[in-house]
Amino acid sequence: MEMRTLTIRTILLFLFCSQSIIDSFAQQDQMYSMYMYNQLLINPAYAGSLPQNQAVGLFRRQWVNFPGSPSTATVSVQGRIGEKNMGWGFNAFNDNLGIIHNTGANGVYSYSINLKKSKLAFGLQAGVRNFTASLTDSKLSSNNEFDQAFDNNISHWSFNFGTGIFYYSENWFVSLGVPHLRTHRLSDKDLNTTDEARLNNHYFLNGAYILEINDQIKVKPSMLVKAVSGAPMQADLNVNAYYHDSYGIGLSYRTGGTFLIMSEIKISNNFQTAIAYDIATGKVRRSLGGSFEIMLKYDFRSSKDSETEFERRLF
C-alpha cells in the first residue's frame, strides 16, 4: 500500500515520541553500549579525573538489517589543567536516523575537591547542536508522488548546557550527569504544529566497583540508569573482567530485552581498542538485526608514567 500524504508533525511525533514500536526513538541522546570507556559523553564532571590526557572515538551502528537505522560517531578529548584540581574536555558527535541528522559539539570544564580517601568533582559543559530533517529525501511512494509538506528541509541550530557530579574513590565511583538542561524546539520556528518535537532533559546515573580476584584477574560490575521524559526508564547492567591488564571481556543486559557482549585489548601502553555487539530478543527486534560498536582510545602518557589500577580500569 502506497504511503499517502503525511505531515511534518507525524514524522516528528513518530521519531521522537513513539514507544509502541521501539523505545529508543524517545531517547534523543545518543545510545552507547560501551559508555564505561568514555564517561565524558554522559557526565562533564568526568573531565580531569585521569592523571593523563585522553582521546576516545566511538562508532555505533544500530539495527543493521533496518534501512535508515541509527548510526553515531563521537570523538572526545579530556585532561587536567596543570597541577590544579581542574579539568577540561571537548566532545563532538554526528548522529543519523533515516532523514533525521543531529550534529553538535561541547566544551567541558570540571573542578574537583580532595576528600580524605576520595574526590568529589563538579562539571559544566556548553555547546551547540544542529537538528536537520532532510524531508526532500523522503520517498513517499513507489512513483515519487509530490507532497507539499515535504517540499522544504528543516535545519535548526540551538545552544545548550549541561552539568554533572562525580564522586570516586580508589575502587568505586558514583556519577550523575545531565548533558543538557535546556529543553528547546528541534524544529523550525515557523513550523505550525500543536505537538512540537523538543529536546528533553536526559539523566544518567551510573556507578562501578573494582573486585580484585588475584594479581592477574579483576572484575568490574557496573550499572547505568537512563531517564528521559517520554520513554521508559532504562538500565544497563554490566560485568567486565580483565586479565593481565591487557585483555578484557564483558557481558551486559539492557532492560527491554537486549543482551550485549564486548571485548577489549590493550595494544600498547597508550592505545586500546574494544568492540561490542548487541543481541536483541523478540520477533520484531530480531528482524531489525543486531547492533555493533567500536571504540578506540589513546592515552597521552609516556612509558615512565605510573598509574593505579583504578585510574586505568575504572574509567
- CATH number at 98 reads 2.40.160.40
**What are the two backbone dihedrals, phi and then psi, of residue 17, each rounded to the nearest 5 degrees?**
-120, -15
Which one, of 148, 154, 146, 147, lies nearest residue 15 by Cα? 154
Which pTM was predicted?
0.80
Residue 113 lies in a domain: yes
**Beta-bridge partners for 124:** 109, 163
| Whole-number pLDDT of residue 182 | 78
Residue 131 lies in a domain: yes
Q: Is 180 helix (H, G, I), strand (E, B) or coil?
A: coil
Instruction: Give the least confident one: 2-6, 34-38, 281-285.
Output: 2-6
pLDDT at residue 24 is higher than 60 = no
Residue 166 lies in a domain: yes
Residue 3 lies in a domain: no
The 10 Å Cβ neighbour count of residue 303 is 7
**Sequence-ordered list of residues with C-beta below 8 angstroms from that of 268, at least 6 positions apart, any chain:** none
Residue 309 lies in a domain: yes
The range of the structural domain enclosing residue 130 comes to 8-314
Residue 112 lies in a domain: yes
Residue 1 lies in a domain: no
Domain tally, the chain: 1
Angstrom distance (rounded) from CA 29 to CA 165? 19
| pLDDT band with cut points at 50, 70 and 90 for residue 170 | confident
pLDDT at residue 78 is higher than 70 = yes
